[in-house]
Amino acid sequence: MIDTVFTFGGDAPHSNARQKDKTVTGGKGANLAEMASIGLPVPPGFTIATEECLKYLREGGDFRTDLVSDIEEALRHVERTVGKGFGDANDPLLVSVRSGAAISMPGMMDTVLNLGLNDETVKGLAKVSGDERFAWDSYRRFIQMYADVVLGLDHGLFEEALEIAKEDNGFYADTEMSAEDWKRLVAEFKSIAEQELGEPFPQDPQAQLWGAIRAVFDSWDTERAKVYRRLNDIPHDMGTAVNVQAMVFGNMGDTSATGVAFTRDPSTGEKAYYGEWLVNAQGEDVVAGIRTPQYLTKARREAAGADKPSMEEAMPDAYGELARVFDLLERHYTDMQDIEFTVQQGKLWLLQTRNGKRTAKAALKMAVDMVGEGLIDEKTAICRVDPMALDQLLHPTLDPDAPRDVLTTGLPASPGAASGKIVLDADTAELWANRGEKVVLVRIETSPEDIHGMHAATGILTARGGMTSHAAVVARGMGRPCVSGASQVSISREDRTLTIGDRELKEGDVITIDGGNGQVIAGEVATIEPELAGDFGTLMEWADKHRRMAVRTNAETEADCKMARQFGAEGIGLCRTEHMFFDADRISAVRQMILADDETGRRAALDKLLPEQRKDFVAIFETMAGLPCTIRLLDPPLHEFLPHGDTEFEELAETTGVSIDKLRRRASELHEFNPMLGHRGCRLGITYPEIYEMQARAIFEAACEVAKTSGEAPVPEVMIPLVATRRELELLRALVDRVAREVFDASGTTLTYLVGTMIELPRAALMAGEIAEEAEFFSFGTNDLTQTTLGVSRDDAGRFLTEYVDKGIFARDPFVSLDVDGVGQLVELAAERGRKSRGDIKLGICGEHGGDPASIAFCEKTGLDYISASPYRVPIARLAAAQAALR
Ligand code: ADP
Ligand code: MG
Ligand code: MG
């Protein structure tokens, strides 16, 4: 029988490898054991493995029989270590029951503190601690948490009772409540619970413990946990561990405290301790925003102009000890740590450590700094930065010189700037965002129920909560700018308005928040381009050194090409020529071509388009300065260019001199039932060769022109889309070669160029060996290949895809992350067959997947030569390609 219950602290062995495996004991449990094993002060406890959670959920809420005895034995370890008895009326052991999954899910699963208290043990606790107030404060906290987390009662009822008790006494803070006040409140809490439950609040510590364990297991399957996992690509089948741990008390008077700290600044990455703490407080007080926490260090306090003392000043000994632990843990884990601690009557205890969440900016800085400090090497640094997080750094920030109508300033909880319409709840945020609007979610304080709205918002503003509040932590994780604790903000939910000082704003008004300095600004503020040198440049340089695949971009405008080059693109992987046809002054020539009766009519229209298209390519070739450019000939169904509505038809009739009736007739002839599988791609080139001829001419004429004027000869790679058979490519390749010869002869210049195809139909993948005889390169068009392999239209998938992902049918949206098992096989097969028949065939990918790190890892494994992504994704692709090569 394998172990599923592991003890830690005291004389526990800590030698079982499974205990330090996060998938078994969860992040919290594994790290508690790790800290205890290196001699740090950790209150003793035990961890119940994730397997037990899965088993419990699978079996509809039943525990394994031996689990009960295993837990009893583990509990005995805790009792022995602290010298107290669980349920002992004279000197009770109290425990916390904490959840902990393998991947941290902040705020997703709730902790119960002070478990083991009842009407008898509370008296014992008062006696041994010599502090009645403390004992009753702990008891009321326990009832409150247990009622909420385990019994599922409305926590508002208890909060209200506490508010009333304070008001009656004229108190402002919880700390002003006396022992007698708490006693009265406990009585009231118990009667509220009894009223709601229809039975007394559970007094038996064993029943309390098992109830809490169940609650942790059950919390794995709550809606909010599922939403969080979905948003963060965490599998649903990991389960959570349970940690049961002896309590230490931060609420034992003025020599006791509790806090949260980071070994480096999680927003900026600066190497300075960073954190918040509260005197005479317990657990969640710091993050819940009930009292405003104080700064950990003197430097921070002074910088913020705060007057309540820092821990460094108020508890120099415990702080010194803490600082020593920070350094030790950072060296041990060779990464920035996020630490939870409690000081009980001057003695420091560690309750949690984990690799801290950080902004992209901080991740970059820490990775580069730690290499400089000799803590990690370049390869580790490359692997430490989440490629997707780079996105945060690549977007514009607020222009420091633009005028700002600052409404108020809160805490800079998550950097970056966001403008958008004010929305006051998460559902509205989601609704408006789905309509395509940018919204800033404004809340008193966020909670896990708001996650979907935070995700939909471009930024988050809260009136309460510190830098480690729920809003701040989640926003940083999601890369959303956030200003928290803007205490001047007050929200009226009935009127859907916001008051900030003497200014009133309505839901829907535009505001801007600056997560870098905490400012809340009326209206929209001008932005500036991001800084690509510094740490970003350094890490990218390292990444380039370690990656094998080239990184290109999908671009067709000069502006996009320029941007992509700034971001490090090494060529164009996909230039979609049809995008050039939508220009206002070109579309009528395009329509004229489509609606022409015959080839002569089409050629007349194409003659107008040729110089325009040539101009486009000149600009692209000049910008790309000798880098390879894959240009795809016309691909979409022609009807996409057709006029819509009466005015467009009227306009076209006027410019072409063809009657509206005739135009309409021709348009309806072009109607297709299933355009995605219709008259498109190379089928256009086969039936209307003059179209591809014009495009090929434009490409080669532009290339010759640029070769003459600039020093660097362009390298065009002409790509034929939607090929299914070798014969299609043979015909069209002959056409392209002929045009190339004509242009080279006429201009007296000869250039190297390639002709190749997209592999985007299953038949093309299967016949890749034959097709490669005609193709000098393959570019995997994985968008269409996914559609045609799965038989799913990307534009219609929205109706069922979420459910498919929720039900585990697809692990992820196959249009975002390549379906490696299915579509991936076709890619592998085509690559292999293509190479067999043409040894030097160039292989690349140009679908959206080229910017997705998981898909990039697959491309590396398959040995593709390059990946191609939209300009903003180029740095992501560079980093992901390096990580793929290193892993
Ligand atoms: P979360 O995962 O939400 O951070 P935790 O299990 O870490 O939840 O518990 C939240 C807080 O409760 C901790 O930061 C700590 O302050 C407090 N806490 C948990 N267990 C104990 C304990 N045994 N003694 C004292 N405080 C505890
Ligand atoms: Mg915690
Ligand atoms: Mg396609």
Which pair of tokens denotes residue 373?
């400090």
Bridge partner residues of 510 (DSSP)? 421
- Do 749 and 621 contact (CB within 8 A), yes or no? no
- DSSP-derived letter for residue 748 is T
Q: Which atom of ligand 1 is nearest to the CA of 243?
A: 6
Alpha-carbon distance of 846 to 849, in angstroms, equals 7
Q: Is the CB of 350 under 6 A from ligand 1?
A: no
Helix/strand/coil for 279: strand
Q: Which atom of ligand 1 is nearest to the CA of 43?
A: 23
Q: What is the pLDDT of residue 426?
A: 93
Distance 352 CA to ligand 2 centre (A): 6
How many helices (DSSP H) and strands (DSSP E) are in the chain? 35, 33
846 catalytically annotated: yes
pLDDT classification of 401: cutoffs 50, 70, 90: confident
pTM over 0.85: no
Using DSSP bridges, classify how beta strands 417-423 and 439-443 pair: parallel, antiparallel or unpaired.
parallel
Residue with CA nearest ligand 1 atom 18: 283
**748, HSE (Cβ side, Cα atoms, 13 Å):** 1
Helices (H), 482-632: 534-546, 558-566, 587-595, 599-624
Residue with CA nearest ligand 1 atom 17: 283
For residue 470, give the ligand nearest its CA: 1
Distance 338 CA to ligand 2 centre (A): 9
Give the pLDDT confidence of 714-764 residue by residue, as tens digits. 999 999 999 999 999 999 999 999 999 999 999 999 999 999 999 999 999
Residue with CA nearest ligand 1 atom 23: 247
Question: What residue type is assigned to position 40 of the chain?
Answer: L
Question: What residue type is assigned to position 504 of the chain?
Answer: E
Residue with CA nearest ligand 1 atom 27: 283
Alpha-carbon distance of 736 to 738, in angstroms, equals 5
Overall fold of domain 257-355: D-amino Acid Aminotransferase; Chain A, domain 1 (3.30.470)
Alpha-carbon distance of 305 to 598, in angstroms, equals 79
Alpha-carbon distance of 166 to 163, in angstroms, equals 5
Residue 448 has pLDDT above 80, yes or no: no
Give the pLDDT confidence of 163-203 residue by residue, as tens digits. 899 888 888 777 788 999 999 999 999 999 999 999 999 99
Closest to 580 (Cα-Cα) out of 545, 555, 543: 555
Torsion of CA 63, 69, 72, 77, to 10 degrees: -120
Residue with CA nearest ligand 1 atom 24: 247
Measured from the Cβ of residue 2, the count of other Cβ atoms closer than 10 Å reads 8
Which pair of tokens denotes residue 320?
């010194």
Q: What is the pLDDT of residue 667?
A: 85
Alpha-carbon distance of 481 to 418, in angstroms, equals 6
Give the pLDDT confidence of 430-446 residue by residue, as tens digits. 999 988 899 999 999 88
Measured from the Cβ of residue 194, the count of other Cβ atoms closer than 10 Å reads 12
- DSSP-derived letter for residue 308 is S
Using DSSP bridges, classify how beta strands 519-522 and 257-262 pair: parallel, antiparallel or unpaired.
unpaired
Q: What is the pLDDT of residue 718?
A: 98
361-394: string of b/e by CB count within 10 Å (b at 16+)? bbbbbbbbbbbeeeebebbebbbbbbbbbbbbbb
Q: Is the CB of 258 under 6 A from ligand 1?
A: yes
Sheet of 417-423: strand order equals 406-409, 519-522, 510-514, 417-423, 439-443, 459-462, 482-484, 411-414
- Burial tier of 234 (Cβ tally within 10 Å: 0-12, 13-18, 19+): middle
CATH of domain 395-528: 3.50.30.10
Q: Over pLDDT 90: what percentage of the chain?
A: 71
- Out of 216, 244, 284, 340, give the residue to mutate to test ligand 1, the one with the largest number of ligand atoms within 8 Å of its CB: 340
Residue 498 has pLDDT above 70, yes or no: yes
Q: Where are the beta strands (DSSP E) in 108-264?
A: 112-115, 240-246, 257-262
For the ranges 213-227, 598-612, 666-680, the maximum mean pLDDT occurs at 598-612
- Out of 46, 280, 342, give the residue to mutate to test ligand 1, the one with the largest number of ligand atoms within 8 Å of its CB: 342
Q: What is the pLDDT of residue 229?
A: 86
Q: Is the CB of 353 under 6 A from ligand 1?
A: no
Residue 108 has pLDDT above 60, yes or no: no
Identify the helix (H) or strand (E) that includes residue 141: helix 132-149
Average of per-residue pLDDT across 288-293: 73
Measured from the Cβ of residue 799, the count of other Cβ atoms closer than 10 Å reads 7
Distance 425 CA to ligand 2 centre (A): 26
455 catalytically annotated: no
Residue 107 has pLDDT above 70, yes or no: no
CATH of domain 534-573+612-637+678-886: 3.20.20.60
Which pair of tokens denotes residue 791?
């038989």
Torsion of CA 468, 471, 473, 478, to 10 degrees: -160
Alpha-carbon distance of 92 to 731, in angstroms, equals 87
Q: What is the pLDDT of residue 42?
A: 97
Distance 749 CA to ligand 3 centre (A): 32
Average of per-residue pLDDT across 682-711: 96
Q: Over pLDDT 70: what percentage of the chain?
A: 99
Q: In which residue are the tokens 């008193």 written?
A: 444
Measured from the Cβ of residue 558, the count of other Cβ atoms closer than 10 Å reads 15
Q: Where are the beta strands (DSSP E) in 18-87?
A: 45-48, 85-86
Catalytic residue among 14, 455, 470, 849: 470
DSSP 598-645: SHHHHHHHHHHHHHHHHHHHHHHHHHHTT-EEEEEPP-S-GGGGS--H
Residue spans per domain, the chain = 257-355, 395-528, 534-573+612-637+678-886
Q: Is the CB of 656 under 6 A from ligand 1?
A: no
Give the pLDDT confidence of 791-844 residue by residue, as tens digits. 998 878 877 887 888 788 988 889 889 999 999 999 999 999 999 999 999 999
Measured from the Cβ of residue 623, the count of other Cβ atoms closer than 10 Å reads 21
Distance 443 CA to ligand 1 centre (A): 25
Q: What is the pLDDT of residue 478?
A: 74
Alpha-carbon distance of 816 to 792, in angstroms, equals 14
Closest to 46 (Cα-Cα) out of 204, 209, 259, 205: 209
Using DSSP bridges, classify how beta strands 754-759 and 715-720 pair: parallel, antiparallel or unpaired.
parallel
Q: Is the CB of 283 under 6 A from ligand 1?
A: yes
Residue with CA nearest ligand 1 atom 22: 247
Give the pLDDT confidence of 219-246 residue by residue, as tens digits. 898 888 888 888 788 888 999 999 999 9
Alpha-carbon distance of 53 to 340, in angstroms, equals 25
Question: What residue type is assigned to position 698 of the chain?
Answer: A
Which pair of tokens denotes residue 699?
């490409």
